[in-house]
Amino acid sequence: MTTCKTSGYGGHPMHVHIHRRRPATMSAFLRTAGFTIESETLFDPDARVPVAVVIARAGQSQ
């Protein structure tokens, strides 16, 4: 799902495309691009649209 957001907090103008992807899909994209996944956290996995945070690092982790 992709949407275009044209106003931010406080009504500030902006033009940002928002892409909703499943966390596993995003992590796979990042790994393919050469990133190392440091952490994946899924909040409320049973929600209609679950929220996740994926933290990745460029290059190999040490």
How does DSSP assign the chain, residue by residue?
A: -EEEEEE-GGG-EEEEEEE---HHHHHHHHHHTTEEEEEEEEE-TTSSS-EEEEEEEES---
> Mean pLDDT in runs of 10 for the chain (62 residues)?
88 90 90 95 86 88 52
Strand partners, 58: 35
23 near 41, Cβ under 8 Å?
no
Phi, psi of 34 (to 5 degrees): 100, 10
Residue 6 has a pLDDT of 94
